[in-house]
Amino acid sequence: MPHDRLCWDVPVLPRATRTTMRLRDLPEWQQDVAITASSVGIGLLLHALGWSPLFETGLTPPGWLHPVLFGAICAVELFRRRAPMTALSVGFVLLAADSVFGASMAVLIVFADLLYAATLYGPRRLSRDMVPITAAITIASVVVMMMFTPDLRTALVTGLAVLPFLVIPLWWATNIRQHKEIAGAERRSAMQLARISELGQRAAIAAERARMARDLHDVIAGHLSAIAIQSEAVLSTGNASPEPTRSVLTSVRENSVRALEEMRTMIGLLRADGSGTDETLAPAGLSELSSLVESARASGMDIEVRSDIDESVTLPAAVNLTAYRIAQEALTNAMKHAPQARARVEVRLVGGSLTVEVVNELPAPSASGDGTGTGLLNMRERAAALGGSLAAGPSDAGWLVRAVLPIMQARP
């Protein structure tokens, strides 16, 4: 029947388990109060059953002594978690006083709980000393028995009977503490791994943002610089003949269209899932070098090109793109800082590396030297990413940018 299945589907916990779970949900001080109240109830029951004293020592205690000592050790039990070592020390004194007059089972049970709490909640260094402390307490109990009991056998039997009350709580608390320490170490390790993973993700995001910044700079800066220079040239001509103006504006339009095309290509690459081979998303390469040079020439530069690369040479995609971007950035810098200057672009294969050189005449002293240095930084980062190198600075022929890109290292 459905009702039967429902009954079987619901797990039924034992009453003791449910009570323990509810006790653990309480604040710590309430747990200690509940444990002490349980000890009081057990002690009153044992006293009513006549389990006090456990043995005869020849001394007759007042009728109120055992209940008072039991009440005192129960009061100490309230501090079992907040001051475990102090509670154990005071409890030992009360146990010794109780043992002089024959001891009581109730006091011994509470002291066993104090030993358990000291092992579980006490300082780590002192908790390791609980074994010798327990041995000392056992020996002390035998000595006390021998002082008041002439029979050595009775003293030894009583001492051995007390031993389980001390060893079992010690063993139990030690195991629980070890499990807690292992669980704590695992939690800390998990937190450290999560932190390392988070730092790795942040580093990956930062690297990706830096790469995107380089791509944006390389894609847009060159074309916009050409547009700005050509527009300035048109404005500076005044009422010049329409034919040169038309030629410059045509170049401006071509640079604008080219910038938009490369921007769309980059956005398409970012959106692609990497599973396709759409040729429309192919990044720029040295095959576009001629278009790049023509754009720079339209800005008024006189550029000579020397290249060993033709259709028969297949370069790794990363090397092809990096070589093009470095040439593009070098020509862009030349257009900005040395407009109308002569320049030379040389691409050649040397051993297992591709060398890209762009050299232009140094700008006149009055030329603008403004710049953020982003272009040079991007070129160096691109070369370093492939295990190559880049050098930029003045030379005998002018300003020289030379990049050496290893080919074999860049192959998949």
CATH number of the structural domain spanning residue 408: 3.30.565.10
Q: Do the domain assignments include residue 277?
A: no
CA-based angle 132:138:140, to the nearest 5? 100
Closest CA to 359 of 291, 298, 302: 302
Examine the fold and report which residue of 139, 173, 196 is the final residue of a domain before the chain moves on: 196
Average pLDDT over residues 3-32: 58
Examine the fold and report which residue of 196, 224, 243 is the final residue of a domain before the chain moves on: 196
| Burial category of 364 from C-beta neighbours within 10 Å (exposed 0-12, middle 13-18, buried 19 and up) | exposed
Both 184 and 42 in a single domain? yes
Both 164 and 43 in a single domain? yes
DSSP symbols for 73-119:
HHHHHTTTTTSHHHHHHHHHHHHHHHHHTT--HHHHHHHHHHHHHHH
Q: Do the domain assignments include residue 8?
A: no
Rounded Cα distance, 123 and 351, in Å: 68
CB atoms within 10 A of CB 272: 12
Greater model confidence, 241 or 173 = 173
As for how many domains the chain has, the answer is 2
Examine the fold and report which residue of 166, 196, 226 is the final residue of a domain before the chain moves on: 196
Q: Do the domain assignments include residue 275?
A: no
- Two tokens at 26? 């309480």
pLDDT of 149 reads 64
Both 42 and 171 in a single domain? yes
pLDDT of 151 reads 65
Q: Do the domain assignments include residue 129?
A: yes
Both 30 and 166 in a single domain? yes
Both 309 and 169 in a single domain? no
CB atoms within 10 A of CB 51: 14
Q: Do the domain assignments include residue 279?
A: no
Greater model confidence, 259 or 10 = 259
Rounded Cα distance, 384 and 304, in Å: 27
Average pLDDT over residues 312-327: 86
Q: Domain residues for 87?
A: 24-196
Both 187 and 48 in a single domain? yes
H or E element, residue 391 = strand 389-395
Q: Do the domain assignments include residue 257?
A: no
Examine the pLDDT at 79 and tell me if it is beyond 70.
Answer: yes
Q: Do the domain assignments include residue 266?
A: no
Q: State the pTM of this model.
A: 0.47
Percent of the chain with pLDDT strictly greater than 90: 11
Q: Do the domain assignments include residue 255?
A: no
